[in-house]
A and B are shown apart, each in its own frame.
Chain A
């Protein structure tokens, strides 16, 4: 508080700051409300996809277990060698209330038995089922990757905004108001002191006039 210059200029400056902070707080609150609405909208879709992913994952693991047991890991690994390939995805971006979120190209990686790259005569239907399930899971994961990343980023932004609003509401605005009050009190005090001093001066001058009559 000692560093503040209790001047009228400073008071005007702080009052402007308070006004701006309050405007900023309102804007951030509005942004947060919009982000929360967006967040819940995306979340509804994500929770459904998540449930579906868990279901597909369970089926995939079950079929993998069965294929490992009946066909032997060696046959499974051999088939996997034939189907191994990289996944190329186009990823662009979009803005939701100033939050950059990824947009992943919607591509399906599920293949038919005849497209997997191995001859079907030597590969069992169990291994096919494993591939079917895991390809379906991959499709869902890619779909979820976009929405979950958007959700995570929106969540982070909401938290950041909440922290900002809280900082403005609980720290910055009260502090500025305190400073403004301090300056106001200081100025009033100074005005009172000036007034008192002037009155005192006036009294001294008048007293002097009485003691030293005209023409002395």
Chain B
């Protein structure tokens, strides 16, 4: 693939990302109106104006940010249209499909109105809004899974397999867990040649993400004092540094403090820098934010790798997502009068 042109376009998109200085300026805005008018001087102007027709205040910002994120990701995907490397971008963006399918299943389980389900969908992946709306019109969960199977969407496989178990238990986690697991298994199966540099990059990101997901799950398992073999159901194989056996050993330690101590020999040793009170109190959200920050930094570091590779679009996707999260945090902090120090702690600068 000719990366020269595509990555030049992506780098052009990157240049429109907000700098640390611009982000700092936004954190100093006294109210939401000032924040919106400052944001209108950036690349978010168009989406903010469009969203302003239907929404106001915080909702306007949230909708505009979400739409801008979708547009950016779809643009990146369109740059790879028809190319062999398109699959790498799809692997990354498919997480939104998973999220959307889960939302549809959750909505159908409680017979939520279609418009309520529609408001919770983010068509940033393979399934566009038209497809998602068609899925949302299905009468029940079985209808959604059948339609996905008819469209030959890969994610229908774990759902079809586990549908009878769901119909017996009516517990959605019976469908959601295999779906999440399938996402990673499917991604790993597509990355079958680690000698290709592009695949190495994606593989590194996916396997690190599996580690992060497993650590998050492990912390929750410890908090809920879950023991035995059932832990295995919640762990995903294929992590970069933490194998299933290692995770089992960590789970057997029985408390978060020891797990964090044990992780000090891995790249996730930064968890040891978290205040011990947070760990002993089981504040998973604090640890989770640090893990997310690690993942964002890892994603964005791809900008420094081979310029004529998939590394640049991957880095852009992570940087864009981080920017949108940062802007949302600032907007919510302005509304909620959150102290500046606390706001800055929640932000991720890359």
**Once the chains bind, are A126 and B119 in contact (CB under 8 Å)?**
no
Provide the residues of chain A in CB contact with B116, threshold 8 Å. Answer: 81
Q: Which stretch in B45-53, B71-79, B219-227 binds the other chain?
A: B219-227
Sample of 18 A–B contacts (CB below 8 Å): A66-B285, A66-B346, A70-B329, A74-B120, A77-B119, A78-B99, A78-B120, A81-B106, A81-B107, A81-B110, A81-B117, A85-B110, A118-B176, A119-B102, A119-B180, A121-B180, A121-B236, A128-B220
The contact of A121 among B119, B217, B283, B325, by CB within 8 Å, is B217
Interface presence of A56 (CB below 8 A): no
**Once the chains bind, are B177 and A78 in contact (CB under 8 Å)?**
no
A:103-138 near B, CB below 8 Å = 112-114, 117-122, 124-126, 128-129
Majority secondary structure of chain A interface residues (helix, strand, loop or mixed): helix
Provide the residues of chain B in CB contact with A85, threshold 8 Å. Answer: 110
Q: Which stretch in B28-36, B200-208, B247-255, B331-339 binds the other chain?
A: B331-339
Interface presence of B234 (CB below 8 A): yes
Q: How many residues belonging to B are interface residues under a CB distance threshold of 8 Å?
A: 52
Q: A81-B107, A112-B224 known; A119 and B332 CB under 8 Å? A: no
Cα distance, A65 to B332, chains bound together (Å)? 7
**Once the chains bind, are A118 and B173 in contact (CB under 8 Å)?**
yes
Interface presence of A84 (CB below 8 A): yes
Interface presence of B9 (CB below 8 A): no
- By beta carbon, the residue of chain A nearest B184 is A121
Provide the residues of chain B in CB contact with A65, threshold 8 Å. Answer: 332, 336, 338
**Once the chains bind, are A119 and B177 in contact (CB under 8 Å)?**
yes
Cα distance, A125 to B221, chains bound together (Å)? 11
The contact of A78 among B102, B217, B219, by CB within 8 Å, is B102
Nearest Cβ distance between residue A172 and chain B, in whole angstroms?
Answer: 57
Contact with B along A74-86 (1 / 0, CB 8 A): 1101110110110
Q: A69-B346, A70-B328 known; A129 and B285 CB under 8 Å? A: yes
Counting chain B CB atoms within 10 Å of each CB, the highest count among A65, A66, A85, A119 belongs to: A119
Q: A66-B285, A78-B99, A125-B219 known; A119 and B329 CB under 8 Å? A: no
Contact with A along B81-118 (1 / 0, CB 8 A): 00000000000000000110011001101101000110
Cα distance, A119 to B66, chains bound together (Å)? 24
Provide the residues of chain B in CB contact with A125, threshold 8 Å. Answer: 216, 219-220, 284-285, 287-288
- By beta carbon, the residue of chain B nearest A68 is B332
Provide the residues of chain A in CB contact with B287, threshold 8 Å. Answer: 125
**Once the chains bind, are B332 and A117 in contact (CB under 8 Å)?**
no
Interface presence of A159 (CB below 8 A): no
Q: A72-B328, A81-B107, A122-B176 known; A113 and B224 CB under 8 Å? A: yes
Provide the residues of chain B in CB contact with A66, threshold 8 Å. Answer: 285, 332, 346
Interface presence of A30 (CB below 8 A): no
